[in-house]
Amino acid sequence: MSRFMPRGFGSFQGKTDRFAVAIVLAAVVMSFPVWCASAPAMPDYPAHLASYYLIATGASPPAVSNFYAIEWAFLPNLAGEIIVPPLSDLVGLEIAGKLFVTAGIVMWVLGPALIHRALFGKVGVAPLFAAFFAYNANLTWGFLNYYFAIGTAFAVFAAWIATEQRRGAVHLLGFAAAFTAIYFFHLFAAATLLLLLGTCELGIAVQSMSARDAFRRFAQLAAVVAPAALAYIFLKPSGGETAVAFDLFDRMIDRLEAALQLSYDNPSLVLMAMLMSLLVVALWRGWIALHLRMIVPLAVLGLAALFAPEWAMGGWGVDLRLPAVLGGLLFASCDFRLERRKIAVLAVACGVVIVSNTVILAKDWRATGLQYDEFRSAARALPPGTRLLTVLDGDAIGYRSDQPYWHMAEFAIIDPGAFTPLLFTTKDQHIVRIKPAYQSIAAASAEQGSPPDIDELNDLAAGQIDEDEDIANVFPYLMRFQCHYDMAVVIHLDGPRSTIPPMLRLRHAGSFFSIYDILPDEACAPT
C-alpha cells in the first residue's frame, strides 16, 4: 500500500476517532470571539446586519420605508438573507447574526475533519492543522454568504467521497438538493464545490482507465449539478456586471495573506511559513501520507487560487476566496504516520496555537466592538430618517486600517432608521433595493463601495472632478452631497484631525469619530 493511498479509503469504519473530540472542542473555542463583542469587527458585517434587519421587517418601519424596499429574486447570493431574518424572529437580530457567523466557523473547522474521515476512515491530527484556516480573509472581511456556503460545501464534498461505493438514486437526489442550496447560498462557493467534485471524479476516471466508469461518474455529477445549472440559466436576473479583472502581480501577497488571518488585515505569515515547512519536510521524510484521490483536486484548486481574478461578476476580492480553502483541504487530505507520542505532541501544539489565535481575534473584535457600541449609542439620538454619510480622515487615521469603519454607519439603519449610501443594494446581487428617488445618491457598484476622504469633500461639494480619479469613478453619487445628505460621521480614530470643511458643523464628538450636520449652500437652492 503506497503512502499516497492510505488504508481506510472511502470508509467510516476503523479505529476510534481519538481526535474527533479535539476537533469539536476546536470549533467551540474558535467560535468564542463572535460572542465576546457586541458585533464582529468585520468591514462588511454592519451592512449585512442592516440588510437582515430590513428583510426581517420588510423595510416597513416608517423611518426606512421611504428609502429601501425588498425585491426577492433567485439570486445566487442569499445564504444570510434566507437564514438570519427568520431566525431573528426567534432569538433577535443580534443573536441571529452571531449564530450565522458561528455556524460558518464551526463548519470550516468540522468540514475538513469530515473530509479527512471520509478519505482515511478515521479522524487524525491533521484536521487540527486544517482548522487554522477557518480564520481567513473571507471571515475577517465579512464575506459571510461565501464563508457559510464554503463551510457547507466541505460537508457535501465529504459526503460525496464517503458514499463512493453506495451512491444510489436517493443519494444523488440529496446531493442535487444540497448543491442547489449552495448555489443559492453563493455562486462562487457552488463553482468551487463543482471544481472539487469534478476533479475528484476525473482523478479516479483517469486511474481506472475505463470509459464506461468515467461516463457513469460524470453522468452522476451532471445529474447533481443540473438543477443549479438550470436555475443559473433561467432564473438568475440578467443585466448584471460580467467584467473580469486580473491583478496577478500586485495582488500576489494579498492572496497569500488571505489564507490565514487572525483579525482584519492581520495575516499570520509566520504560522503560514511554519505550516508549509512542516508539510514539505513531512512529505519528504514520509511522515505524512497524501491521499492519492486528492492530488488532482488540490493541484487544480492551487492553480485556481493562484490565477483567480480580483474582480468578477461585479464582485471584488475573488482572489481572496480560494487560498484558505486550499490550505484547509491540503491538511484534510493528509494523514500523519508517526508514533503515538509524537502525534500527541503535534496535537498539543495545535491546541496551543488555536487558543492563541482565538485570544488574538477575540481581543481585536472586542476592542472594535466597543467602538461600534459607542457609535450606535450616539446614532440612536439622531432623528429618524437621517441621511448619513461616512467620511474618513485619512491623515488622522494614518497607516492604520480604516476598512472596519467603512460600513459602521449602516448600524444607524437599524436604529434610529437612517439612509446611508454604502448599504449592499447592487442590482442583481442583493435583494435590498434603494427606492428610485434615492438611487442617484447611493453607491451603484462594489467599485463605489468605500467612503470618501475628508480632503475630497470640498471638490465634491463644488462638483469638481479636477484630477482626482476617485471622484469620477468611485464617488460620482456624492457630487453636491451637501444638497442631499443631512449628516456626516467622520472617522479619525485618535490621530491629529484634519481641517473640517465649512459645510460641516459639529453635532457630536466621540472618542474615535465625530458626527457633523451638513449645511446646504446656495448651490442647493431650487432653480
Handedness of CA 64, 65, 66, 72 (dihedral sign): positive
CA 441/CA 475 separation, integer angstroms? 9
pTM: 0.95
Quickly count: other Cβ atoms within 10 Å of residue 475's Cβ.
22
Provide the residue-wise pLDDT of the chain in tens; the chain has 527 residues: 334 444 333 333 334 477 999 999 999 999 999 999 999 999 999 999 999 999 999 999 999 999 999 999 999 999 999 999 999 999 999 999 999 999 999 999 999 999 999 999 999 999 999 999 999 999 999 999 999 999 999 999 999 999 988 889 999 999 999 999 999 999 999 999 999 999 999 888 777 767 788 888 999 999 999 999 999 999 987 766 667 888 888 889 999 999 999 999 999 999 999 999 999 999 999 999 999 999 999 999 999 999 999 988 778 899 999 999 999 999 999 999 999 999 999 999 999 999 999 999 999 999 999 999 999 999 999 999 999 999 999 999 999 999 999 999 999 999 999 999 999 999 889 999 999 999 999 999 888 999 999 999 999 999 888 767 778 889 999 999 999 999 999 999 999 999 999 999 999 999 999 999 999 998 897 74
**What's the chain's length in residues?**
527
Q: What is the pLDDT of residue 240?
A: 62
* Backbone angles phi and psi of 261, in degrees to 5: -130, 140
Can you tell me whether residue 389 is helix, strand or coil?
strand
Can you tell me whether residue 258 is helix, strand or coil?
helix
Q: Which three cell numbers stand for residue 47?
A: 451592512
Q: What is the pLDDT of residue 311?
A: 87
- List Cα–Cα distances, 468 to 312, 448, 463, 475, in angstroms: 25, 14, 12, 10
Residue 97 · residue 48 · CB < 8 Å: yes
CA 223/CA 229 separation, integer angstroms? 10
Exposed (0-12), middle (13-18) or buried (19+): which is 343, by Cβ within 10 Å?
Answer: middle
Q: What is the pLDDT of residue 243?
A: 73
Handedness of CA 280, 31, 76, 174 (dihedral sign): positive
Could you say which DSSP state residue 336 is in? E
At position 429, the amino acid (one-letter code) is: Q
Largest CA distance in the chain: 84
CA 518/CA 486 separation, integer angstroms? 5
CA 303/CA 344 separation, integer angstroms? 34
- 288-290 and 334-336 as β-strands: parallel, antiparallel, unpaired? antiparallel
Q: What is the pLDDT of residue 288?
A: 95
Handedness of CA 428, 431, 434, 436 (dihedral sign): positive
pLDDT digits (tens, 9 = 90+) for 335-382: 999 999 999 999 999 999 999 999 999 999 999 999 999 999 999 999
Q: What is the pLDDT of residue 3?
A: 42
Exposed (0-12), middle (13-18) or buried (19+): which is 66, by Cβ within 10 Å?
Answer: middle
At position 480, the amino acid (one-letter code) is: R
Residue 329 · residue 304 · CB < 8 Å: no
- List Cα–Cα distances, 47 to 35, 170, 432, 449, in angstroms: 19, 40, 11, 11
Exposed (0-12), middle (13-18) or buried (19+): which is 211, by Cβ within 10 Å?
Answer: exposed
Q: What is the pLDDT of residue 467?
A: 66
Handedness of CA 348, 350, 352, 358 (dihedral sign): negative
CA 120/CA 338 separation, integer angstroms? 15
pLDDT digits (tens, 9 = 90+) for 55-64: 999 999 999 9
List of residues 6+ apart from 433 with CB closer than 8 A: 68, 69, 70, 71, 425, 427
List of residues 6+ apart from 322 with CB closer than 8 A: 192, 301, 304, 305, 308
Q: Which residues pair with 453 in a beta bridge?
A: 392
CA 329/CA 458 separation, integer angstroms? 50
Lookup result for grid cell 445618491: 441
